[in-house]
Amino acid sequence: MAKLDETELMLKDLTDAKGIPGNEKEARDVMERYIAPFADEVTTDNLGSLIAKKTGDESGPSIMVAGHLDEVGFMVTRIDDKGFVYFQTVGGWWSQVMLAQRVTIMTSKGDVTGVIGSKPPHILSAEARKKPVDIKDMFIDIGASSKDEAAEFGVRPGDSVVPYFEFTKMNNEKMLLAKAWDNRIGCAIAIEVLKQLKDTDHPNVVYGVGAVQEEVGLRGAKTAAHTIKPDIGFAVDVGIAGDTPGVSDHEADSKLGEGPQIILYDASMVSHKGLRDLVVDTAEENNIPYQYSAIAGGGTDAGSIHLTANGVPSLAITIATRYIHSHAAILHRDDFENAVKLIVATIKKMDKETVKQVTLS
């Protein structure tokens, strides 16, 4: 793999970290290490979401920029007498991307390597080959010969199971391949936003957030937003890329490298018109490329943020990403960098009067 620069090393550390919903500590520790130098203080709420505060004008509006720490994964539910491990999905999975994939079980004795078992085609009937395997019938092989041996390895019900994949810079070095882009890229955006605001004036208080448990119901963003009480909320996440074979423009028309996505609508919220217009105007004023997107079957942390207290004008800004909710996904570095530029440029405008006008739009 080509040598990684400073930003890519951060992205590697974030994506290589393990953290499914309910067990995000490893990913949170990595995010804290990178964001703390640019924050005035770093705290966590009682569910475990990380909140990094950067004060510009302490009497100005509060701006929340939230990525989520968790990635889709699995949880051990039982171990059979032969030592095979059965599991529950944690977050949304499609069965066809799971078989024969390597996983890591996080146990009290350390990490245990496993693979989701699959039957060889030689013993499958022609009819069986046409049918996807039900997730409920899948198991993980950890090389144990019995339930007792699996217990000796440290595996027990409730343990987190995380997809295994290493960060890779592809031959086109702008194309980055990794697990957990959903949503360590949002965490990286929050880090970079605070970094770029470090020695600049901004008329507000900015909170860079790594929320927990997004993949199981936008939960951490809800408690973090109750803690922060923001005036404006941004969710930064991945979006759907439509630039691969078999995906029609009707399903998804965003392309890698053509700018961050401004989400118009998703299943968790209708984007706030005033905030959306401000962001789009800012992009055009600064010649920052952007794309529009709508996601009928999914949501972001903005869905929780915008319902906090008496309402928070909120918007999701996402990075078009291929193959999300699988072991490995691809995104374009330019989209990440342009998302940061766009959010920073918008934040610098957001004084009390601008926020008031946005709210009334």
Amino acid making up residue 280: V
Q: What is the maximum alpha-carbon separation in the chain?
A: 69
**How far is the C-alpha of 152 from the C-alpha of 195, rounded, in Å?**
45
Q: ω before 183 within 30° of 0 (cis)?
A: yes
Residues identified as active-site: 214
> Taking Cα atoms as reference points, which of 264, 282, 260 lies closest to residue 273?
264
Report residue 327 as tokens. Answer: 């072991």
77 touches 310 (CB < 8 A): no
Nearest-5° Cα angle at 160, 326 to 72: 25
Alpha helices in the chain (DSSP H): 6-16, 25-35, 126-129, 147-153, 181-197, 219-228, 273-285, 302-305, 333-349, 352-360
Neighbouring C-alpha atoms within 13 Å toward the C-beta of 220: 28
Q: Which residue's entry shows tokens 């290589």?
A: 16
**How far is the C-alpha of 243 from the C-alpha of 187, rounded, in Å?**
24
68 Cβ contact list (under 8 Å, min separation 6) = 183, 186, 187, 210, 211, 212, 213, 214, 215, 220, 221, 237, 301
Report residue 161 as tokens. Answer: 């199971």
Helices (H) and strands (E) in the chain, counts: 10, 18
**How far is the C-alpha of 66 from the C-alpha of 251, rounded, in Å?**
26
**How far is the C-alpha of 164 from the C-alpha of 330, rounded, in Å?**
15
Nearest-5° Cα angle at 313, 251 to 301: 55
